[in-house]
A and B are shown apart, each in its own frame.
Chain A
Amino acid sequence: DQQVKQNSPSLSVQEGRISILNCDYTNSMFDYFLWYKKYPAEGPTFLISISSIKDKNEDGRFTVFLNKSAKHLSLHIVPSQPGDSAVYFCAASADDYKLSFGAGTTVTVRA
């Protein structure tokens, strides 16, 4: 039973526009959330995270929003660039250092 869900398998966006990736979770014990980016034939790389005590965290072009009441988080990428084309995984932790991952969303940035 997947506790972290990314319901959009793919997203296509024009270069310069905003990419919005969504993630839902079911486990109310999750208190730390992360986004990872993965290129083909490489391991996932950490992108940005947010603690449950916050509702927003920003790092350059990347912003993560957390809505605890809805058990929902989203990643905004503004502006989208060709190098952002990758698979993005949402992950969550219940303060036990283990991560539960979503199935991933493939982002394609069109020139």
Chain B
Amino acid sequence: DAEITQSPRHKITETGRQVTLACHQTWNHNNMFWYRQDLGHGLRLIHYSYGVHDTNKGEVSDGYSVSRSNTEDLPLTLESAASSQTSVYFCASSTGGEETQYFGPGTRLLVL
């Protein structure tokens, strides 16, 4: 079955370290998204991509970067982790002509 996976599911890191969260989907979806979920804010968009080599900033993109070298993967990199980036991160994907997004299981990140 087609799916969307995230790894790792849990991560503890230290302030200042570079961290990369993986997202892989097998639906062949053009659109991929990264969100963070924090209490009281719901899900906020970090970065998104409409296709290979396309990346765009979302509303909370500072301190994060993404790259899209193939259809299946959109890794999220925290260049220098900060305590404010402790959160739960969700990856999602959608087809080119559809608004409905399908989410991965999430990665819980703790920055100490």
Contacts and interface: CB of A to CB of B under 8 A. Distances in A.
Interface of A: 2, 4, 6, 32, 34, 36, 41-46, 49, 89, 91, 93, 95, 97-104
B99 A41 contact: no
Given A46-B100, A49-B99, A99 B105 contact: no
A101 B105 contact: no
B106 A43 contact: yes
B100 A34 contact: yes
Given A97-B31, A101-B42, A103-B41, A44 B99 contact: no
A97 B42 contact: no
Nearest to B35: A101
B43 interface: yes
Given A49-B100, A89-B43, 7 more contacts: A2-B42, A43-B106, A44-B90, A97-B31, A98-B45, A98-B48, A101-B42
A99 B48 CA distance: 11
A2 to B, nearest CB: 8
26 contacts: A4-B42, A32-B99, A36-B103, A41-B105, A41-B106, A42-B105, A42-B106, A43-B103, A43-B104, A44-B43, A44-B90, A46-B100, A46-B101, A46-B102, A91-B43, A97-B31, A97-B98, A98-B45, A98-B48, A99-B43, A101-B43, A101-B44, A102-B42, A103-B40, A103-B42, A104-B42
